[in-house]
Amino acid sequence: MSEETTTEVVTDEAAIGSKDPVAALTEDLQRLQAEYANYRKRVERDRALSAEVAISSVLLEFLAVLDDEKMAGLVVTPTTKSFSISWGR
């Protein structure tokens, strides 16, 4: 390597390493803030989804109970000549 090439390499490395420490810390802070904001959004979305799943599973159980109750009320006696069943599904 010639002296000129060595000086260019050292100067390029110095330019890369001589980044303003305040700017570097500012970039790190901005990156961490963005990561935290994304984390909060993801947690809130997951929390809402969990609530929806829990509510839907409880409602499905209630529907099953209501269907059973409705079917239990349809008792045919010998005096009944006809009846109709309407399915809500």
pLDDT of residue 64: 85
**How far is residue 44's CA from residue 41's CA, in Å, rounded to a whole number?**
5
Please write down the HEC assignment for all residues of 13-68: HHHHHCCCHHHHHHHHHHHHHHHHHHHHHHHHHHHHHHHHHHHHHHHHHHHHHHHH
Q: Does the pLDDT at position 71 exceed 90?
A: no
pTM, two decimal places: 0.48
Q: Does the pLDDT at position 12 exceed 70?
A: no
Domain spans, the chain: 13-69
**How far is residue 25's CA from residue 32's CA, in Å, rounded to a whole number?**
10
Mean pLDDT along residues 10-39:
82
Give per-residue pLDDT as tens, 42-67. 999 999 999 999 999 999 888 888 88
pLDDT of residue 69: 73
